[in-house]
Amino acid sequence: MGTISGRVGGSISGYDIKATVKNGVISGRIGGMVFGDDINLTYSMEKGFIKGRLGGATFGKSVEGYISPNSLSIRIGGMVDGKDLELEASHNSVYGRCGGPTLGFDVKIDFFESQAVGRLGGEFVGKDVRGSVIDVEPIIAGALFSITYYIYQVNHRNNSSGNSGRN
């Protein structure tokens, strides 16, 4: 069984990620017990798919797309309110983009000796990534850290508009 744990952002303004990966199933939690989302995904590198749900059945986001050991292309959320996540893995690094060229963020995460360190977003606007990745392919870990930042952005935007968190 593989594990991913860590933090996207600082101790005050960030989200935790804690997930297990076993037999094509990714499960865990993004954020805390009150403000956050459950992770329920299935995938197959051989068949090239990843799909599932973040959050609950009512208030959540679907995830669906393509995965291989070196690339990932998924849609998080619906056609109107979702974003595309495109990642590539090469030489112990995962890089890519979530969202479009204007409303989105860059992904750059390096993996070394069970550690993940990187940045999501730009130099000034974005969040640092720090975590532990044990027996999980970098493309999956990179996707989960990127999804964590995406969920953080969605929940932060909703909370600053007067809405409370979900799940």
The answer to whether residue 135 scores a pLDDT higher than 60 is yes
Domain membership of residue 165 (yes or no) is no
Distance CA 126, CA 105 (A): 8
- Domain containing 140: what range? 2-160
143: CB partners within 8 A, 6+ apart: 50, 67, 72, 74, 85, 87, 94
Residue 45: pLDDT above 90? yes
- Residue 114 located in a structural domain: yes
Residue 132 confidence (pLDDT): 97
pTM above 0.95, yes or no: no
pLDDT value for 48: 97
For residue 46, being part of any structural domain is answered with yes
pLDDT over 80 (residue 159):
no
167 is a domain residue? no
User: Who wins on pLDDT, 34 or 9?
Assistant: 9
Q: How far is CA 113 from the centre of its chain?
A: 20
pLDDT value of position 166? 44
Residue 82 lies in a domain: yes
- Asked if 14 contacts 153 with a C-beta cutoff of 8 angstroms, the reply is no
Provide the pLDDT for residue 6.
Answer: 95
Instruction: Confirm whether 86 is domain-assigned.
Output: yes
Number of domains making up the chain: 1
pLDDT of 167 above 50 = no
Residue 160: count of CB within 10 angstroms of its CB:
8
Choose among 157, 105, 158, 149: nearest CA to 6. Answer: 149
Highest mean pLDDT among 26-35, 94-103, 108-117, 147-156: 108-117
Model confidence band, residue 158 (pLDDT cutoffs 50, 70, 90)? low
pLDDT band at 164 (very low <50, low <70, confident <90, very high): very low
Task: Tell me whether residue 59 is in a domain.
Answer: yes
Would the pLDDT of 133 be above 90? yes
Residue 109 is assigned to a structural domain of this protein: yes
The Cα 89–Cα 126 span in angstroms is: 21
